[in-house]
Amino acid sequence: MGRSIVCLTFDFDAISGWIARGMVSPGPVSRGEFGPQVGVPRLLALLARHGIRSSWYIPGHTLETYPEACRAVADAGHEIGHHGWTHRPPATLTGEEEEAELVRANEAIRKLTGRRARGYRSPSWDLSPRSVDLLLAHGFVYDSSMMADDYTPYRVRRGDVITLEEPAAFGPETALLEMPVSWTLDDYPHFEFLRTPTSVLPGNMNANGVLENWIDDFTYLEQNLAWGVITYTFHPFVIGRGHRMIALEKLVRTLTDRGAVFMSLEDAAAEYLQRSSGPAAR
């Protein structure tokens, strides 16, 4: 029997994601507020019931706006990872702004946990060409924002040259480990209704239908890989609604019954690094 690792990860954006989009009126702010006020206590209770250590990527804006909710997450023993300060994607920032955000939010994480973040997840999963070097310079072990694999971590490249009319020239691998994500395993696009001046994200999918996909992705891992990690991404203001909490608990119960090993992303990264340095790699 293989070792199927499940990482439950939570992007605790609260109101920062709406602010980053310029949506600062009471409606969107209240939508984000559901996270710290309602979603987080429900999620912490569910994780405690099942004895699961998870990973939380918290923007500096949330850390400093909702310190009590963040303290509750840290006190429950969950990993606290980096998720920017303003929730603006690095690809939209200057180099100076990107590094300033890294430092400022890392300092807020250090105040909360006593140590800087080991893991980084970029807002909106969009790194800049500078991000890898900055993450290495600031001591990060892993990133969790990219999608080139599903169940197997991999080394992040630096210095790719990607242009329209020439073949891509890929740079060398670095020490930074990627713990890959996927929009299919993210609650947001399935569930959130979002209307902007140029687009509509319909969301509001049947949670049991989405749950079926999420379970089948675990089944494929279990049936095809001797060792692998599946990473689910949730947002407290999205997954914290009643019917979705029921789906999340069904997911946890089903995977537990099937022998899944739940752990934080930093622990899964450490296990991968240990395996890949020895004869048992992959």
Q: Which is nearer to Zn ion, 13 or 187 (CB)?
A: 13
d(CA 169, CA 181): 24
What does the block give as tokens for 227?
């060792």
Among 6, 9, 13, 191, binds Zn ion (CB under 5 A): 13
d(CA 99, CA 174): 19
Number of residues that bind Zn ion (CB under 5 A): 2
Q: Which stretch binds Zn ion (CB under 5 A): 12-20, 25-33, 99-107, 160-168?
A: 12-20
Task: Quickly tell me which residue has 């310029």 as its tokens.
Answer: 22
CB of 43 to Zn ion, least distance (A): 15
Q: Which is nearer to Zn ion, 18 or 262 (CB)?
A: 18
Q: Which residues of 128-152 are buried (b: 16+ CB within 10 A; e: fewer)?
A: bebbbbbbbeeebbbbbbbeeebbb
CB of 11 to Zn ion, least distance (A): 4
Instruction: Identify residues 138-197 at the interface with Zn ion (CB under 5 A).
Output: none
d(CA 89, CA 84): 8
The CB density around residue 247, as the number of other CB atoms within 10 Å, is 22
Instruction: Kindly state whether residue 101 participates in binding Zn ion, applying the rule CB under 5 A.
Output: no
Q: Which stretch binds Zn ion (CB under 5 A): 8-16, 35-43, 213-221, 236-244?
A: 8-16
- Three-class SS state of 100: helix
Q: Which is nearer to Zn ion, 73 or 260 (CB)?
A: 73
Instruction: Kindly state whether residue 11 participates in binding Zn ion, applying the rule CB under 5 A.
Output: yes
> Which residues of the chain form contacts with Zn ion (CB under 5 A)?
11, 13
